[in-house]
């Protein structure tokens, strides 16, 4: 595995965020997913939206299929 610092994508206000280096394999995977979402132009979810989605998945067993 390569150990390199990855620069964060541009923030929504147009400023660059500081370099970030994930420390775990989960962190690396989440960082890759975040980059893909940002590159697609799709808006990322806020905490309230994440909690709503998690709640919906927990309350409806049919969503997991």
Q: Where are the domains of the chain?
A: 1-65
Q: How far apart are CA 19 and CA 7, in angstroms?
A: 4
**R_g of the chain computed on alpha carbons:** 15
User: How does pLDDT run across 1-26, given as a tens digit for each residue?
Assistant: 444 555 555 555 556 666 888 999 99
Query: Mean pLDDT throughout 48-61?
Result: 89
- Greater confidence (35 vs 10) lies with 35
Q: What is the mean pLDDT of residues 41-54?
A: 91
> Is the per-residue pLDDT at 61 higher than 50?
yes
pTM to 2 decimal places: 0.49
């Amino acid at each position: 595995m390569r150990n390199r610092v990855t620069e964060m994508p541009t923030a929504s206000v147009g400023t660059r965020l500081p370099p970030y280096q994930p420390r775990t394999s989960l962190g690396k995977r989440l960082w890759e997913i975040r980059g893909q979402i940002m590159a697609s132009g799709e808006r990322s979810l806020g905490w309230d939206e994440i909690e709503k989605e998690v709640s919906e998945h927990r309350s409806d067993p049919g969503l997991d299929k």
